[in-house]
A and B are shown apart, each in its own frame.
Chain A
Amino acid sequence: MDEKLNLDQHTSQKFNEELQDICTRVLEMGGLVEEQCRKALKALVKDKLELAEEVATSDHKVNEMELAISERCTDILALRQPAASDLRVVVGIIRLVADLERIGDEAEKIGRLVKTLADSRDRSKFRSETKHLGKSVLEILHGSLDAFARMDVAAAIETAAKDHDIDNEFESLTRLSITHMMEEPSSVKSLLRVSWCARALERIADHSVNICEEVVYMVKGSDVRHLSIKEIEDRFL
């Protein structure tokens, strides 16, 4: 069957508008979340305290968008009884906005951690590693939202496959940090916070992978949430 979802092809013009409205809102929410993550990373690697403060206190906007989108999805389920691809889009979006909201939470967490790191002399430890990790994570997040916007299965799978590198980077950063902590026990408190930031970044990538999996579900109708990337590639590429 044709892979296009044709969300604007219903007999009911109003239904077209409703479906497109939730998709647009998801992209707006995605844009906001992406911005939050970018600011959080900048605050982290450039010691921008005001930015950290901003990220730590503006998560409510993301939460409000999540509620608004969920409510619209519920309305569509109740009033339109969507089927087939329409149903998958609505169900996928309900799951996807939960991931976006969690990404917002992780950004907020980084903002708060940067604030607590402000006075530590160890705050700039592993900066280049963290920066690199952060940039790769932002790429995955961007790629997942892009795949959603275009309902592009190949792009979604390609993006999800990059998570493996993130895991490796995070792992090596953790190892570095443990070694350093053992050598210099006084740095443990700060380095733990730096590690938590790295952990938050790694979680953002995981949630982005979930978004990619939802894109596959919406377009292909297969729930691939618990398949390995290899299995997903074999099946759909």
Chain B
Amino acid sequence: MNANDSTAYGAVPEEAVGLDLNDHTAMDDYQTIGEPLVDNAKMSARDVNVFYADKHAIMDVSLDIGENQVLAMIGPSGCGKSTFLRSLNRMNDIIPICRVSGNIALDGEDIYASNQDTVLLRARVGMVFQKPNPFPKSIYENVAYGPRIHGLAHSKAEMDEIVEQSLRRASLWDEVKDVLDKPGTGLSGGQQQRLCIARAIAVSPEVILMDEPCSALDPIATARIEELIDELKERFTIAIVTHSMQQAARVSQRTAYFHLGKLIEVGDTKQIFTMPRHELTENYITGRFG
């Protein structure tokens, strides 16, 4: 098991199971509105299409994630935002019927190249899931697991240092420093999620993908994670999928709106929430029936 390869944990996205994504007759020739591309792209997707068997889940999406920025992806259930997020570290590879075309690059290098080591890729592009999913091990081991299998620590002291630093960056250290040998599963939901974030950052990723990281948490735990996301963006590039529009508005610098597998609009978060340019975006963020 790999700290960042959460085969056992990641749920299959809604797009894969029965929503009719082929009902998009009204927008066959669509163009993303706004600024999908940026100058300082850490990851860039070009003309990405994702299929689950014959279901076309993502259609011609081109989108950059700017370095040290938080990109929020919003949209109704089944719109493809999770599928797109999962294609950014090849998490979709674990779904046999899933097929990805187009180009996705990390620092300009194609992550779907045949010589790409996915274990290494997922160390560089870490992931945090909706439900906190700590390993059934001690708090210390949860964080130390990734660095150990990637050979990032050469001594116990070095490992201690990585564990402490990761827990500190995840704002969890003060709460767990005296119980590091207790099971991670014994923590509260919010603490478990921060433990998962600590685990993800322990292997020094460059990008962190978050799939609704707060949907199982209470408002206080949510506020702490959001605060944390804001701090983490100093060091990492973050892409977050969220159902909470207020959360997208609070934590991100750019927001992308997906609808039926299409990237409808991307822009500065402030602009999207005060003056969206596409009617579908407006209808979604204001809670109007589309």
Contact = CB atoms under 8 A, between A and B. Distances in A.
A83 B285 contact: yes
Nearest to B273: A83
A1 to B, nearest CB: 5
Contacts of B278: 1
User: Which of B249, B276, B282, B288 has its CB near the most chain A CB atoms (within 10 A)?
Assistant: B288
A215 to B, nearest CB: 15
B114 interface: no
A88 B273 CA distance: 10
A214 to B, nearest CB: 15
Given A9-B289, A85-B286, A221-B274, 4 more contacts: A11-B289, A83-B274, A83-B286, A84-B275
Contact of A2 (B274, B279, B287, B289): B279
DSSP majority for the A interface? loop
A6 interface: yes
A223 B128 CA distance: 40
A11 B287 contact: yes
Interface string B174-186: 0000000000000
Contacts of B276: 1, 84
User: Which of A1, A2, A6, A82 has its CB near the most chain B CB atoms (within 10 A)?
Assistant: A1
A88 B274 contact: yes
Interface in A48-75: none
Interface string A1-31: 1100010011110010000000000000000
DSSP majority for the B interface? helix
B224 interface: no
Interface string B246-290: 100100000000000000000000000111111101110111110
A26 to B, nearest CB: 19
B285 A84 contact: yes
Given A87-B274, A88-B274, A221-B274, A82 B286 contact: yes
Contacts of B274: 83-84, 87-88, 221
Interface residues of A, number: 17
A9 B288 contact: yes
Contacts of A1: 276-279, 282
Interface residues on B, range: 10 to 19
B245 interface: yes
A186 interface: no
A219 to B, nearest CB: 11
A9 B280 CA distance: 13
B275 A221 contact: yes
Contacts of B286: 10, 82-86
A15 B282 contact: no
Interface in A72-100: 81-88
Contacts of A10: 286-289
A85 B281 CA distance: 11
User: Which of B246, B278, B285 has its CB near the most chain A CB atoms (within 10 A)?
Assistant: B285
A82 to B, nearest CB: 7
Contacts of B273: 83-84, 87
B241 to A, nearest CB: 18
Given A1-B277, A1-B278, A83 B288 contact: no
Contacts of A15: 287
User: Which of A11, A84, A85, A86 has its CB near the most chain B CB atoms (within 10 A)?
Assistant: A84
